[in-house]
Structure 1
Amino acid sequence: MKIAILGTRGIPNNYGGFEQCAEFLALGLVKKGYEVIVYNSHNHPYQESNWNGVELVHCYDPEFKLGTAGQFIYDLNCIRDLKSRDVDVVLQLGYTSSSIWGWLLPKNVVVTTNMDGLEWKRTKYSSKVRKFLLWAERLGVKYSDHLISDSVGIQDYLKDKYGKESTFIPYGAYVSDTPDSKVLDEYKITEYEYDLLIARLEPENSIEVILDGVSQAKTGRPFLVIGKHETKYGEYLKLKYSSDESIRFVGGIYDITKLNSIRYYSNIYFHGHTVGGTNPSLLEAMASNSLICANLNPFNQYILGKDAVYFSNSEEVSKVLTSIFKQDLFCKEMILNNTNKIHNVYNWDIIVQQYADHLQSIKGIITR
């Protein structure tokens, strides 16, 4: 079977969650004997046409010139190229900028789409953009032969709103190898004497709520904010917290080994995501021996259950920072439980097999 993966900026991952998913998924499927094509932006740092057995097709991506609008052109270019290739299944990771071109997808291939989170609920978008995203979601459902949900919550939503069944396949992670404490020297931090968050700096990720809590707590411990901050909102955050020396904006870090070590040696890892399904960064935190303090919402609770502490406001963040420590006995139990979930439920080997089973079951079944 030959599979084309659309919807990411490409692999190896140099951007975010869907790229990480595409990387592990493509490698895993190739090892199982599938032929896999992954579409990459033309300006991706990796410019070769093959990566560990995965065929890479670079398409022109004007996002660097046009911003978000460039993503729509990039997706169009990928679909236009796809029409000239002989593939059995198209796997779309997300639909935001590709679903408007769904009518151009080849008619003789099976299209299955990972519907991601509820993009139209993201508060960073204006009401007009949110209406567009809801429309794009409808198109994503319309032009797909099959749907994938990365959480039970998304699966229920698609059933209730569109009357569509979907296959539940979460994201995956691997339990981290032995961490490297030397990484900490680069950031002038000490084992278990710092806290952090890793996220895109966007309002719906509770960044401001968490940092307000950090400022209130006055623990004296460094607090690392890992994520690209050269944005309008990032500049706002840096200005707002400029007087708090404990808050350090260190930018994006895309080296997974380095990230895992930073997570491993942290005291508390804050996960503020409020929208979406099984978030990749949350699984990676669980796999990295992190003590997790998460935003209180059904998506996070489904994954973490009782194996985390939760917050809903900055006062609760402050209380966690001053009263809970990774070395506490009950915290060690939560960390161990989350590690076991990665081994037994969210392991990438298991997830790849679930995708392989899904692809085999839908091959040749076109319903649109």
Structure 2
Amino acid sequence: MYIGIIGTRGIPNYYGGFEQFAEYLAVQLVKDEHTVSVYNSHDHPHQSHEYKGVSIIHCYDPGNFMGLAGQFIYDFNCIIDARSRNFDLILQLGYTTNSVWGWLLPSKSIIVTNMDGVEWMRSKYPPLIQRFLKHAEKWAVQTSDYLVADSIGIQKHLKGLYEKPSTYIPYGSYVFENPEISYLNEFHLEPYQYNMLIARLQSDNSIDEILKGVSEANVTRPFLVIGNHNTRYGKYLVDKYRHFRNIMFLGGIYDLDKLNNLRYHSNLYFHGHRVGGTNPSLLEAMGSSALICAYNNIFNKSILGDDAYYFENSLDVTLVLNSYKKQDNMSFVNKNCKKIATIYHWPLITSQYEELFLDVHSKKVETLSLAITE
């Protein structure tokens, strides 16, 4: 097949979860002898028109100086370009700023959309934006031929609200197998003597609730906060908890080996994401042998099951910090690693996408053949 992938800032990944997924999937599809093109922002660091056999199509993206409005323009440019190509199938990752142009998607291509999270439920957005995002979600459902849900929660949401079926395919990760204590020296840490979180510092990731629980716990272990805090909300958090010496704001860290080692050697790892599907950072924590305490919702529980602790408020966080140690809960850790190796493993995930693509393409070919015969 000739497959196009839109909805990301491009590959190789320099940004986030969708970009990482697009990179893994596109490269694997090429290895499986498909022809694949991925759309990249015009100013993406990778300026070549090829990456590991994947064709790169650069489109103008004014997002760096126009913000959200620029993303609408970038998505428009990608979709207009896609109309000039003969893609058998287009994989659309997310809908936030591209479903506005859904009616422009090429009618000859099969449109498969990964619906991401329930974006309009995120508390970080003001009511007007939430209303728009709810409409955008509906437009994406209407203009797509097939939907992919990356969590059971998203699948139930799509079925309940739109009576639309979707294929459940989560994100993937790998089991981290080469820990090195030396990575802790930079931060003056000792193995299993610190707790942590990794997240974008925004309100719907429960950062404030977690840190309030940390501030009220009877433990003096360092608590690492990894995420860019040079934002309005990030600066608010830094100022609010500046008197607590054990709370350490480390900023954004993008070295995967360093992140994996910090997770691997931590005592407790907190995952506060309230809305969304299969969050990539959660899978990475599972694969890094972290003992996880997650926000109690269907998205997190459908992945972790009984192999984690859960919280709903700062009191729960305090209780967990005061009560549990990683060394006493290795069964949780080992079971989550096994899930990464057997369920949420990147090669398995990419093969599920290929299987879906081949299935929907064969159905279209069969339909066209019947129409010609008749």
**TM-score, structure 2 as length reference:** 0.94
Counterparts of 1:59-98 in structure 2, within 5 Å, are: 59-98=59-98
Equivalent-residue separation in structure 2 for 1:180 and 1:51 (angstroms): 31
Instruction: Tell me which residue corresponds to 2:308.
Output: 308
Equivalent-residue separation in structure 2 for 1:241 and 1:207 (angstroms): 11
SS of the aligned residue for 1:217 comes to coil
Letter in 2 for 1:297: N
Aligned residue pairs, count: 365
Q: CA deviation at 1:38?
A: 1.4
Identity percentage of aligned residues: 55
Alpha-carbon distance change, 23 to 136 in structure 1, aligned in 2, over 3 angstroms: same
Counterparts of 1:337-348 in structure 2, within 5 Å, are: 337-348=335-346
Equivalent-residue separation in structure 2 for 1:73 and 1:17 (angstroms): 21
- Superposed CA deviations along residues 126-152 of structure 1, whole A, max 9, x for unmatched, are 111000000000110111010001111
Equivalent-residue separation in structure 2 for 1:263 and 1:9 (angstroms): 27
Q: CA deviation at 1:365?
A: 5.3
Counterparts of 1:223-234 in structure 2, within 5 Å, are: 223-234=223-234
Instruction: Tell me which residue corresponds to 1:333.
Output: 331
Instruction: Tell me which residue corresponds to 1:39.
Output: 39
Counterparts of 1:103-122 in structure 2, within 5 Å, are: 103-122=103-122
Instruction: Tell me which residue corresponds to 2:370.
Output: none
Instruction: Tell me which residue corresponds to 2:289.
Output: 289
Equivalent-residue separation in structure 2 for 1:141 and 1:194 (angstroms): 44
- Superposed CA deviations along residues 265-297 of structure 1, whole A, max 9, x for unmatched, are 111110001101211111111111010000111
Alpha-carbon distance change, 13 to 187 in structure 1, aligned in 2, over 3 angstroms: farther
SS of the aligned residue for 1:245 comes to coil
Alpha-carbon distance change, 267 to 121 in structure 1, aligned in 2, over 3 angstroms: same
Per mean C-alpha deviation after superposition, the further-off stretch among 114-123 and 228-237 is: 228-237
Equivalent-residue separation in structure 2 for 1:108 and 1:341 (angstroms): 38
- Superposed CA deviations along residues 91-125 of structure 1, whole A, max 9, x for unmatched, are 01100000001111111111000001111100011
Instruction: Tell me which residue corresponds to 2:361.
Output: 363
Instruction: Tell me which residue corresponds to 2:29.
Output: 29
Q: Is 1:220–2:220 an aligned residue pair?
A: yes
Per mean C-alpha deviation after superposition, the further-off stretch among 43-52 and 126-135 is: 43-52
SS of the aligned residue for 1:363 comes to helix
Contact 1:110 1:364 (C-alpha < 8 Å) held by counterparts: no
- Superposed CA deviations along residues 149-170 of structure 1, whole A, max 9, x for unmatched, are 1111211111121111111101
Letter in 2 for 1:31: K
Instruction: Tell me which residue corresponds to 2:371.
Output: none
Instruction: Tell me which residue corresponds to 2:262.
Output: 262
Contact 1:88 1:364 (C-alpha < 8 Å) held by counterparts: no
Q: CA deviation at 1:219?
A: 2.0
Return the structure number with greater relative CO, CA threshold 8 A, min gap 6.
Answer: 1
SS of the aligned residue for 2:90 comes to strand
Equivalent-residue separation in structure 2 for 1:114 and 1:173 (angstroms): 17
**Structure 1 unmatched ranges of 5 or more:** none
Equivalent-residue separation in structure 2 for 1:291 and 1:359 (angstroms): 36
Contact 1:270 1:294 (C-alpha < 8 Å) held by counterparts: yes
Equivalent-residue separation in structure 2 for 1:244 and 1:172 (angstroms): 36
Instruction: Tell me which residue corresponds to 1:349.
Output: 347
Q: CA deviation at 1:86?
A: 2.4
- Superposed CA deviations along residues 336-364 of structure 1, whole A, max 9, x for unmatched, are 11111111111111111100000001116
Q: CA deviation at 1:189?
A: 1.9
**TM-score, structure 1 as length reference:** 0.96
SS of the aligned residue for 1:76 comes to helix
Instruction: Tell me which residue corresponds to 1:280.
Output: 280
Larger Rg: 2
Equivalent-residue separation in structure 2 for 1:298 and 1:87 (angstroms): 36
SS of the aligned residue for 1:111 comes to strand
- Superposed CA deviations along residues 2-60 of structure 1, whole A, max 9, x for unmatched, are 11111111122221111121121112222222222111122222222222222222222
Aligned-residue RMSD, C-alpha: 1.5
- Superposed CA deviations along residues 185-209 of structure 1, whole A, max 9, x for unmatched, are 2223222111111111111110100
Contact 1:228 1:252 (C-alpha < 8 Å) held by counterparts: yes
Letter in 2 for 1:347: H
Alpha-carbon distance change, 346 to 295 in structure 1, aligned in 2, over 3 angstroms: same
Instruction: Tell me which residue corresponds to 1:184.
Output: 184
